[in-house]
């Protein structure tokens, strides 16, 4: 929800292939966000991008790799570097080759953790559109699932201490300069976490506005989510004897799909239960 665009890397030693691909993909959007296309004409150029550009190295959604470049297996070596040397299992990698005989599809699928394989002849605009659209959806769902699992594990380890829970929550709390366009607030039992007085007031005002709006139910217990026409979202867990009242407010540039809303609700629900069970060993944030 906090993306501005989707980073896509095209690696091919044929300038015409890169130019045509960029032209075909320039108006593609996924969830209303554009692509940001990076290109490299060799394995080495791609390595420079991956290692020197933070966005390509850390947030790359899709990579389309040619096979034969500096060497007959340069693209496969690049794939191996991304998957194994960097440990990046999230980026959706596709092999796009003009010489399928050098890297047969079954061998590549079996040996390398790629998401798909096609020849350059098959790379029509419609093919690229469906591939990019489906792969970014998969990238987002898989990435959010991994992040939610990691956060859930951290919250479980911190259970029993609200101070430790706050530490586990710190990556998603607060209003840093990087979050200016996509602010987020966590409000537990009416208290705003990770916010100064001004930001806390903004969060409470937003909660009052969205809290009074009609939302979509998330379960029979009354948990719900609400979205306004300015892109602000509320995921709300109702309080009770065994759980705190928790509101997660955030601004998104696009409407998260149902799977993502469900994952976020699961995290907020877990927090509500663990917060109630934990001791109040902290007074300030």
Q: Are residues 131 and 12 in the same domain?
A: yes
Question: In whole angstroms, what is the distance from residue 200 CA to residue 170 CA?
Answer: 16
Q: Are residues 17 and 129 in the same domain?
A: yes
Q: What's the number of domains the chain is made of?
A: 2
Q: Are residues 130 and 16 in the same domain?
A: yes
> Could you tell me which residues come within 8 angstroms of residue 118 by beta carbon, excluding any fewer than 6 positions away?
94, 95, 96, 127, 131
Q: Please give the residue range of the domain that contains residue 268.
A: 160-277
Per-residue confidence (pLDDT) for residue 104, from 0 to 100: 65
Q: Which of 137, 152, 186 is the last residue of a domain?
A: 137
Question: In whole angstroms, what is the distance from residue 89 CA to residue 91 CA?
Answer: 6
Q: Are residues 133 and 220 in the same domain?
A: no
Question: In whole angstroms, what is the distance from residue 251 CA to residue 228 CA?
Answer: 10
Using the predicted structure, report yes or no on whether residue 114 has a pLDDT greater than 80: yes
Q: Are residues 99 and 173 in the same domain?
A: no
Please state the rounded mean pLDDT for residues 208-216.
93
Q: What is the 3-state secondary structure (H, E, C) of the chain?
A: CCCCCEEEEEECCCHHHHHHHHHHHCCCEECCEEEEEEEECCHHHHHHHHHHCHHHHHHCCEEEECCCCCCCCHHHHHHHHHHHHCCCCCCEEEEEECCCCCCCHHHHHHHCCCCEEEEHHHCCHHHHHHHHHHHHHHHHHHHHHHHHHHHHHHHHHHCCEHHHHHHHHHHHCCCCHHHCCCCEEEEECCEEECCCHHHHHHHHHHHHHHHCCCCEECCCCCCEEEECCCCEEEEEECCECCECCEEEEEECCCCCCHHHHHHHHHHHHHHHHHHHHCECCCCCC
Q: Are residues 86 and 11 in the same domain?
A: yes
CA 109 to chain centre: 25
Q: Are residues 128 and 10 in the same domain?
A: yes
Per-residue confidence (pLDDT) for residue 111, from 0 to 100: 78
In contact, 170 and 151? CB cutoff 8 Å: no
Q: Are residues 63 and 17 in the same domain?
A: yes
Per-residue confidence (pLDDT) for residue 133, from 0 to 100: 96
Residue 153 in domain: no
pLDDT tier for residue 267 given thresholds of 50, 70 and 90: very high
Per-residue confidence (pLDDT) for residue 285, from 0 to 100: 47
Q: Are residues 171 and 265 in the same domain?
A: yes
pLDDT tier for residue 199 given thresholds of 50, 70 and 90: confident
In contact, 116 and 94? CB cutoff 8 Å: yes
Q: Are residues 202 and 133 in the same domain?
A: no
Per-residue confidence (pLDDT) for residue 222, from 0 to 100: 94
Question: In whole angstroms, what is the distance from residue 269 CA to residue 279 CA?
Answer: 18
Q: Which of 122, 137, 152 is the last residue of a domain?
A: 137
Residue 50 in domain: yes
Residue-wise pLDDT for 61-86, tens only, equals 999 999 889 888 899 999 999 999 99
Residue 88 in domain: yes
**114: domain CATH number?**
3.40.50.2300
Per-residue confidence (pLDDT) for residue 256, from 0 to 100: 85
Please state the rounded mean pLDDT for residues 135-152.
94
**Distance between start and end Cα atoms, the chain:** 25
> Could you tell me which residues come within 8 angstroms of residue 18 by beta carbon, excluding any fewer than 6 positions away?
10, 12, 39, 41
Residue 78 in domain: yes
Residue 74 in domain: yes
Q: Are residues 167 and 224 in the same domain?
A: yes
pLDDT tier for residue 158 given thresholds of 50, 70 and 90: very high
Per-residue confidence (pLDDT) for residue 265, from 0 to 100: 96
Question: In whole angstroms, what is the distance from residue 244 CA to residue 71 CA?
Answer: 59
In contact, 77 and 66? CB cutoff 8 Å: no
pTM score of the predicted model? 0.86
Residue 192 in domain: yes
Using the predicted structure, report yes or no on whether residue 25 has a pLDDT greater than 80: yes
Residue 82 in domain: yes
Question: In whole angstroms, what is the distance from residue 116 CA to residue 108 CA?
Answer: 9
Q: Are residues 128 and 183 in the same domain?
A: no
Per-residue confidence (pLDDT) for residue 103, from 0 to 100: 63
Residue 47 in domain: yes
């Amino acid at each position: 929800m906090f993306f501005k665009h989707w980073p896509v890397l095209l690696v091919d030693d044929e300038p015409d292939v890169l130019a045509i691909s960029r032209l075909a993909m320039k108006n593609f959007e996924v969830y209303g966000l554009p692509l940001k296309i990076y290109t490299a004409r060799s394995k080495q150029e791609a390595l420079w991008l991956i290692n020197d550009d933070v966005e390509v190295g850390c947030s790359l959604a899709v990579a389309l790799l040619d096979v034969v470049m500096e060497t007959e297996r340069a693209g496969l070596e690049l794939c191996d570097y991304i998957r194994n040397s960097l440990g990046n299992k999230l980026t959706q990698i596709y092999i796009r080759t003009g010489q399928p005989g050098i890297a047969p599809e079954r061998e590549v699928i079996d040996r390398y953790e790629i998401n798909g394989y096609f020849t350059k002849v098959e790379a029509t605009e419609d093919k690229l559109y469906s591939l990019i659209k489906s792969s970014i959806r998969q990238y987002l769902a898989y990435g959010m699932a991994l992040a939610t699992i990691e956060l859930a594990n951290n919250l479980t380890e911190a259970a029993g201490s609200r101070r430790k829970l706050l530490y586990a929550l710190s990556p998603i709390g607060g209003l840093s300069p990087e979050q200016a366009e996509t602010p987020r607030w966590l409000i537990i039992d009416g208290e705003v976490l990770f916010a100064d007085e001004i930001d806390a007031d903004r969060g409470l005002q937003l909660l009052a506005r969205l809290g009074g709006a009609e939302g979509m139910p998330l379960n029979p217990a009354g948990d719900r989510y609400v979205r306004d026409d300015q892109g602000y979202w509320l995921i709300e867990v109702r309080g009770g004897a065994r759980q705190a009242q928790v509101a997660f407010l955030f601004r998104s540039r696009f409407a998260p799909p149902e799977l993502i809303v469900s994952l976020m609700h699961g995290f907020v629900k877990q927090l509500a239960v663990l917060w109630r069970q934990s001791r109040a060993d902290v007074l300030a944030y």
